[in-house]
């Protein structure tokens, strides 16, 4: 190779490496003309059907696609409901047992009727279910085997269409809550309120057992009816003011019957093309890519009816720039890309590089992101400030707990022995230590089911759990481990052994966790049980299998969490309401706890206004649950979120799940900072080039010298 060719080749290596370093983005197909929000998911969603989905990782997607009648105002606090696809807030009338109108404050209120008016001109997203041929027949509702051979995903259908939203679509979705094959997690609870819903579910189940088809359009619910295309009614037993909150959740978003009929085709079900995986909504975004093993993409809905950024907020919002986009049409972004990230370290690294727009703060990255003052106040580290990163914090209206399966023969039941066993474990599991180690102090130990920020949460000595804490010097102090050992002995397990057989007590903890991120926490949990000389066996499985075990009551001890669906204590206390048991009704009472006194108090409390009487009932319910100890009460988290400087309109909203439409991105700034933060390091390549030249140049010179001698003519 000639020397000049070698030099050119090595130079090209350097240039190529430089170019590669400049484009090492995980999004090589990124279009700078599209405002794309980049985020992630760590657990594959199991359900995207709004009648079934109830997990936070699922609602992060469904909340952007489906639109219930109402939503929470993005900026106002306390949280305030407002119309979304509804034209106004519901009109409520009150009836006696004979369906005759009575005043709201009457003692004869037997029913409440909510009439919901709808906006006009709202259309569903593009979808093949709506396509009709020239004869008005649905084009894709009876697919042949030949047609199915060409279909692997929803995007493979050549045509799509839309139609206008009608009141019947909302009623149809409420009927779906009762479908025996959908297993809606709120059927048990809603059946307690919506007139005729439980009977409707029983009727559908009976028809299914008889092998008869279920056409929900031909079967009506007593308490739900269409008035006309723009009005429908929901009739509930007695008073149930929380229904307004439920009407702001995807459970009550409209579903078109055409979509369900389209998805019911066996050939599509075999290909996992179902409504549980391909949503059909009216929201600002719709799903255009669904690969749960890699990424999921939501794009702007071309048929979106239009909505505008709020023009008013709380004091200080305007000064914070939160009203800079007042009155602008939503959404303010074009696309949302959810990428699978199983490890926190991978996500954090890409966030620091600027490839994710927002990040929480894991324990591994806490010291890099946050500094804590001597007074215990949190602030951004210098490294984050240099990048222009912002920190937003909020006290979470959430609770995380360790639950006992009350149906289990060892840790369940309501005998004194069982209660003492659970209380002993509750004392031994030191959540103060857990918060310090794994949450970097971002949380407070829970004393009961209701978190701060929700009516019914009581601070001070009156609000502590006396079975686990003592009140000392103005603060709760966890009772000593000796108290736990005494309780364990009284429960029949002195020094962690069965008093009758002498066998060691072995308990089982079921968890949907694996990998290095969870190992330390599980090791810590084993250590807590070893304080009592109790052996803890970890049974780890994937999330879907874990959910199945919970539904069947096959878990013994488990870890669970709950984020408030709406700002009312009923939304937390119903997690312990007997008729809402997960095994019996598929509800959200994961511990399958059932206490008659607690349930009666719950039924009185849930419809009451927030007053002193309601507070006293909540305190009594908390006392009952603390005594029975179906949960190790866990902790309430403090939420920390980091945002890059190109994010705008950031205000934590712990009630709303459809907030991505308000976000605005400065994509030019993002691109510039990504280029700046990810410049390739060229000097090692230059050093390598220089070293290669030093090695190759002498050989080339010797070769050229020998070649010259060989071809030279001797002198005569």
Residue 614 is predicted with a pLDDT of 95
The string of pLDDT tens digits covering residues 199-239 is 999 999 999 999 998 899 999 999 999 999 999 999 999 99
Average pLDDT over residues 411-431: 97
Residue 373 is predicted with a pLDDT of 78
Please give the Cα distance from 55 to 240 (Å, whole number): 24
The string of pLDDT tens digits covering residues 325-378 is 999 999 999 999 999 998 888 899 999 999 999 998 887 888 899 988 776 678
Q: Is 502 exposed, middle or buried (0-12, 13-18, 19+ CB in 10 A)?
A: exposed
- Residue 708 has φ and ψ, to the nearest 5°, of -65, -40
The string of pLDDT tens digits covering residues 456-468 is 999 999 999 999 9
pLDDT higher than 70, residue 684: no
Q: Which residues contact 480 (CB under 8 A, 6 or more apart)?
A: none
Give long-range contacts, CB 8 A cutoff, 24+ apart: 290-297: 290/153, 290/154, 292/44, 292/45, 292/340, 293/44, 293/340, 294/339, 294/340, 295/337, 295/338, 295/339, 295/340, 296/41, 296/61, 296/337, 296/338, 297/335, 297/336, 297/337, 297/338
The string of pLDDT tens digits covering residues 689-704 is 667 667 776 666 666 6
Residue 24 is predicted with a pLDDT of 67
Query: β-strand 506-511 against 557-563: which pairing, if any?
Result: parallel
The string of pLDDT tens digits covering residues 253-310 is 999 999 999 999 999 999 999 999 999 999 999 999 999 889 999 999 999 999 999 9
pLDDT, greater one: 362 or 540:
540
Is the separation of the CB atoms in 42 and 710 below 8 Å? no
Please give the Cα distance from 515 to 222 (Å, whole number): 50
- Residue 704 has φ and ψ, to the nearest 5°, of -65, -35
pLDDT higher than 70, residue 583: yes
Please give the Cα distance from 275 to 294 (Å, whole number): 20
- DSSP for 279-321 reads ----SSEEEEEEETTTEEEEEE-TT---EE--S--STTTTTTT
The string of pLDDT tens digits covering residues 296-319 is 999 999 999 999 999 999 999 999
Residue 378 is predicted with a pLDDT of 84
Residue 597 is predicted with a pLDDT of 98
- Residue 168's SS3 state is helix
Q: What percent of the chain has pLDDT over 90?
A: 75
* 500-to-145, 273, 412, 504 alpha-carbon distances in Å: 65, 56, 19, 11
Residue 403 is predicted with a pLDDT of 97
Residue 292 is predicted with a pLDDT of 87
CA Rg value for the chain: 31
pLDDT, greater one: 121 or 567:
121
Is the separation of the CB atoms in 55 and 241 below 8 Å? no
* Range from 93-97, 98-102, 657-661, 712-716 carrying the lowest mean pLDDT: 712-716
Residue 22 is predicted with a pLDDT of 44
pLDDT higher than 90, residue 606: no
Residue 649 is predicted with a pLDDT of 97
Residue 682 is predicted with a pLDDT of 58
Using H for helix, E for strand and C for coil, what is the string for 400-413? EEEEECCCCCCCCC
Residue 4 is predicted with a pLDDT of 56
User: With bands split at pLDDT 50, 70 and 90, how would you rate the model's confidence at 453?
Assistant: confident
User: With bands split at pLDDT 50, 70 and 90, how would you rate the model's confidence at 58?
Assistant: very high
Mean pLDDT estimate for the chain? 91
* 221-to-167, 197, 226, 260, 602 alpha-carbon distances in Å: 15, 6, 11, 19, 26
Question: Per DSSP, what are the bridge partners of residue 330?
Answer: 307
pLDDT higher than 80, residue 7: no
Please give the Cα distance from 644 to 42 (Å, whole number): 21
Average pLDDT over residues 511-524: 81
272 sits in which H/E element: none
- Residue 100 has φ and ψ, to the nearest 5°, of -100, 140
Residue 20 is predicted with a pLDDT of 46
* 234-to-68, 180, 194, 217 alpha-carbon distances in Å: 14, 21, 7, 17
* Range from 168-177, 339-348, 513-522 carrying the lowest mean pLDDT: 513-522
Angle between helices 416-428 and 481-490 (to 10 degrees): 160
Residue 716 is predicted with a pLDDT of 42
Q: Which residues of 183-210 are buried (b: 16+ CB within 10 A; e: fewer)?
A: ebbbbbbbbbbbbbbbebbeebeeeeee
* Range from 219-228, 382-391, 630-639, 705-714 carrying the lowest mean pLDDT: 705-714
User: With bands split at pLDDT 50, 70 and 90, how would you rate the model's confidence at 708?
Assistant: low
Question: Per DSSP, what are the bridge partners of residue 390?
Answer: 643
pLDDT higher than 60, residue 12: no
Average pLDDT over residues 703-713: 60
Residue closest to 64 by CA, chosen among 333, 414, 273: 333
Dig out the tokens for 324 from the structure.
């800079």
pLDDT, greater one: 652 or 115:
115
Dig out the tokens for 303 from the structure.
């048929």
User: With bands split at pLDDT 50, 70 and 90, how would you rate the model's confidence at 394?
Assistant: confident
Start-to-end CA span in the chain (Å): 34
Dig out the tokens for 682 from the structure.
């060229």
The string of pLDDT tens digits covering residues 13-41 is 555 544 444 456 788 777 778 999 999 98
pLDDT higher than 70, residue 539: yes
Q: Which residues of 115-154 are buried (b: 16+ CB within 10 A; e: fewer)?
A: ebbbbeebbbbbbbbbbeeeeeebbbeebeeeebeebeeb
């Amino acid at each position: 190779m000639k020397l000049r060719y070698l030099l050119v080749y090595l130079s090209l290596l350097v240039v190529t490496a430089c170019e590669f370093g400049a484009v090492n983005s995980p999004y090589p197909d990124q279009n700078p003309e599209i405002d794309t929000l980049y985020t992630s998911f760590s657990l594959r969603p199991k359900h995207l059907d709004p009648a079934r989905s109830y997990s936070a990782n699922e609602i992060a997607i469904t909340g952007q696609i489906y639109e219930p009648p109402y939503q929470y105002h993005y900026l106002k606090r306390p949280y305030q409901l407002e119309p979304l696809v509804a034209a106004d807030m519901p009109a409520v009338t009150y009836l006696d047992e004979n369906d005759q109108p009575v005043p709201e404050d009457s003692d004869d209120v037997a029913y409440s009727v909510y009439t919901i008016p709808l906006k006009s001109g709202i259309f569903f997203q593009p979808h093949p279910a709506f396509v009709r041929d020239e004869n008005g027949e649905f084009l894709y509702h009876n697919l042949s085997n030949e047609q199915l051979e060409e279909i692997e995903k929803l995007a493979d259908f050549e045509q799509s269409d839309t139609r206008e939203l009608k009141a019947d679509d909302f009623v149809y979705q409420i009927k779906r809550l009762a479908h025996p094959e959908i297993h809606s997690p709120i059927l048990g609870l809603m059946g307690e309120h919506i007139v005729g819903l439980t009977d409707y579910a029983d009727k559908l189940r009976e028809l299914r057992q008889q092998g008869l088809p279920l056409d929900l359009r031909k079967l009506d619910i007593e308490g739900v009816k269409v008035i006309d295309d723009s009005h429908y009614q929901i009739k509930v037993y007695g008073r149930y003011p929380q229904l307004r909150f439920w009407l702001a959740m995807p459970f009550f978003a409209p579903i078109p019957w055409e979509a369900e009929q389209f998805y019911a085709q066996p050939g599509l079900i075999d290909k996992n093309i179902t409504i549980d995986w391909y949503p059909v909504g009216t929201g600002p975004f719709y799903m255009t890519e669904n690969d749960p093993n890699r990424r999921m993409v939501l794009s702007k809905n071309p048929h979106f009816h239009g909505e505008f950024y709020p023009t008013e907020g709380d004091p200080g919002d305007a000064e914070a720039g939160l009203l800079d986009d007042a009155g602008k049409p939503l959404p303010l972004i074009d696309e949302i890309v959810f990428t699978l990230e199983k490890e926190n370290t991978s996500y954090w690294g890409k966030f620091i590089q600027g490839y994710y727009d927002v990040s929480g703060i894991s324990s591994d990255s806490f010291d890099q992101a946050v500094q804590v003052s001597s007074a215990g106040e949190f602030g951004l580290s210098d490294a984050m400030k240099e990048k222009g990163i912002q920190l937003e914090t909020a006290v979470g209206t959430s609770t995380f707990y360790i639950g006992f399966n009350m149906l289990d023969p060892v840790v369940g039941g309501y005998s004194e022995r069982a209660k003492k066993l659970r209380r002993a474990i509750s004392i031994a599991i030191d959540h103060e230590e857990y918060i310090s180690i794994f949450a970097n102090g971002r949380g407070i130990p829970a004393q009961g089911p209701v978190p701060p920020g929700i009516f019914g949460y009581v601070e001070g000595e009156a609000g502590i759990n006396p079975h686990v804490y003592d009140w000392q010097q103005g603060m709760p102090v966890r009772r000593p481990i000796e108290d736990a050992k005494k309780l364990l002995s009284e429960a029949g397990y002195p020094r962690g052994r069965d008093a009758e057989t002498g066998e060691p007590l072995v308990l089982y903890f079921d968890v949907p966790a694996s990998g290095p991120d969870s190992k330390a926490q599980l090791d810590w949990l084993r250590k807590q049980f070893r304080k009592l000389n109790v052996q803890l066996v970890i049974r780890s499985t994937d999330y879907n299998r874990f959910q199945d075990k919970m539904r069947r009551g096959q878990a013994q001890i488990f870890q669970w969490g709950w984020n408030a669906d709406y700002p009312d204590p009923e939304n937390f206390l119903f997690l312990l309401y007997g008729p809402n048991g997960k095994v019996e009704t598929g509800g959200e009472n994961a511990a399958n706890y059932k206490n008659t006194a607690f349930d009666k108090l719950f039924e009185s409390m849930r419809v009451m206004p927030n007053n002193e009487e309601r507070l006293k009932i909540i305190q009594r319910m908390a006392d009952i649950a603390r005594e029975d100890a179906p949960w190790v009460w866990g902790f309430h988290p403090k939420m920390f979120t980091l945002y890059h400087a190109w994010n705008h309109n950031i205000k934590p909203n712990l009630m709303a799940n459809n907030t991505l439409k308000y976000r605005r991105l400065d994509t030019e700034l993002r691109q510039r900072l990504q280029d700046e933060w990810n410049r390739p390091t060229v000097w090692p390549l230059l050093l390598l080039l220089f070293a290669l030249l030093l090695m190759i140049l002498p050989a080339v010179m010797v070769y050229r010298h020998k070649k010259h001698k060989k071809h030279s003519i001797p002198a005569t």
